[in-house]
Amino acid sequence: MPPPAYQQQQSRTRHLLTVDGSQQWLELHVGSNVIGRGQDADLRLPDTGVSRRHVDVRFDGVGAVLAVQRPGGAGPVGDEGVVAPGGEHLGLGGGVGPDAAPDQAPPALGALGDRRVALLAMGLTLLPLGVAAVALLVAVGGEYTPSSHHALIEMQTRSVGRHEVLVGLYSRDLWNHPGPAQFFLLAPFYWLTGGMSVGINLGALAVNAAAVAGMALVARRLGGTPLMLVTLVCCSLLMRAVGAELLRDPWNCYLTMLPYGLLVMLAWAMWRREAWALPVAAVVAIYPAHSHVGFVVLATPLLAWGLLGLAATTILEPDAGERRPALRRGVRAVAVTAGVVALGAVPLALDAVRHTPSNATEVVRYFRHTDEPVHSLATGWHVMVGQLGLSPEWLTSKRAPNIIGESPFVGGAPVPWLLAAVAVAAVVLGRRVAGSRSLVATLAVALALGVVAVARTLGPPLDHRPRWTVALGVLAGVRLGAGRGGGPRPTWRGA
């Protein structure tokens, strides 16, 4: 009979299985071990390219037999190389020996290493914004006095909690932008600094930092850490190109740039059947739509596009067993989104009740009855694809506007080689990379909306207005930099 110590060591031996290209591990137990997309899977891979019960690993305590599930007998499933017939993409460990401490086991090392890489990359990307915040507090402090638009922003932010704030920033066209979301976001930072003017700039840095972090987290959700790293690199290049002065500027033309990029990412996530992205996208869409009237025709259709994708991918789910829980998640997301939209509409409704004419009436009247000229679709196309050439502004540096302050791309734009490369990647990799075509389609919708929005701009297309166009260039760069994608996505409980 073996000694007690030996028995204790034997009981600690574990058999582990990992999916190649991911940081996910499964401790095998004797019997059936299911890998798939279903809620009852032992190792869950929430990807539309994986079936509900994709693989069944049958373990007898010594060896394992791999059974690949084929829905309807149509052959192997999985367009990302998650699992292939024969198990060549599955790593099966013989066990974690008794001398290994629990925190030294491969699953702990893999997950911990992945999290450390993600956190380190996120921290390094956001570090310049933190440095800018410290510099504002230490070097500027209470000595800064804003003027022009910045003074108006501080005045309305100061009114939050003291007076009624129902509309956005004053426009040169004798009306205000639709809603006060910007001031409610900036107010906590203004209060924390004791009412110093730089508190508004600290709030701007925080909004941009949250947008970058949000894009990175969505990328990690959809493509794992590799896609997150590509996204952070592209965002870093953009922040370097525009500089700290713009990133800390609270003006509504600038402080909507990065949140718009996050909205596009969330619209893509909905096409990947991520129900949680719908209410989050609604929150993100309300902010730019409140802050600048131009985003009403940019953010609202993007939200509708994402909702269409979520509905289509849920209803057309081929796995009947997964369709019902997916529908329940979708219904919950729609209900929460309805509440979010209703909350965002409260200031506009109150303004309509208490003021005659309301600010919304004045805005509609201005756009319906104006003598200012609009622009051609060609002008809108030039401005949009200016960020999709070989040396776009987000990758190099900001170009100077023309002599009357218009976008440098109004008269013509470089050949959109980046756009062509994205289109080629969609054709070549579309069938092999889950989500590739839905991302390209989302970028195409955003591009088309941008062309129309720029073309319908009243008055000259001044350079500060379409600053948000760089976000689409960044996301096109993310698509190209992702290559074949990051492999299986990390699992979030309840996703």
Q: What is the pLDDT of residues 269-284, one digit of tens each?
A: 999 989 999 999 999 9
Residue 433's pLDDT is 53
Q: Which residues of the chain have pLDDT under 50?
A: 1-12, 70-110, 484-495
Query: Which residues is 34 bridged to in the sheet?
Result: 56
Quick one: which H or E segment has residue 215?
A: helix 198-247
The answer to whether 71 and 77 are in contact (CB under 8 A) is: yes
Query: Which residues is 66 bridged to in the sheet?
Result: 57
How far apart are the C-alpha atoms of 222 and 364, rounded to whole Å? 39
Closest CA to 209 of 278, 131, 265: 131
**Burial track 353-384 (b if 16+ CB lie within 10 A, e otherwise):** eeeeebbbebbeebeeeeeeeebeeebbbbbb
Closest CA to 293 of 256, 248, 261: 256
User: How buried is residue 484: exposed, middle or buried, by Cβ count under 10 Å (0-12/13-18/19+)?
Assistant: middle
Residue 85's pLDDT is 34
